[in-house]
Amino acid sequence: MHVLRIEQGIIDEREQRAQQLAKQVAAANMAQVKEMLAADVDTLRAKLPGKAEAAAEHALDMKYLRERQQTLAHDLSNLSPQS
């Protein structure tokens, strides 16, 4: 009976140690994931266009739209009604 208590104590200690190690591994994994996410966010922020790039892109978009409207207006004005 006494031997069983000692063995059970050893088993309990090992289970506690295993749980502690599992918690440490989970905490380390969480820290690693947080660092990876932070690095990814930094990378994405670095790729975002600044105000100057955004303004230049907007100007090109507006130029394209104006030219497209002029082309369409010209094409529509050249259509002759079919009789």
Average pLDDT over residues 1-6: 77
Is residue 28 a part of any domain in this protein?
yes
Confidence (pLDDT) at 82: 59
Is residue 9 a part of any domain in this protein?
yes
DSSP string, the chain: -HHHHHHHHHHHHHHHHHHHHHHHHHHHHHHHHHHHHHHHHHHHHHHS--HHHHHHHHHHHHHHHHHHHHHHHHHHHTPPPP-
Is residue 25 a part of any domain in this protein?
yes
Is residue 82 a part of any domain in this protein?
no
> For 10-49, how does the pLDDT look when each residue is reduced to its tens digit (9 = 90+)?
999 999 999 999 999 999 999 999 999 999 999 999 988 8
Confidence (pLDDT) at 78: 80
Number of domains in the chain: 1
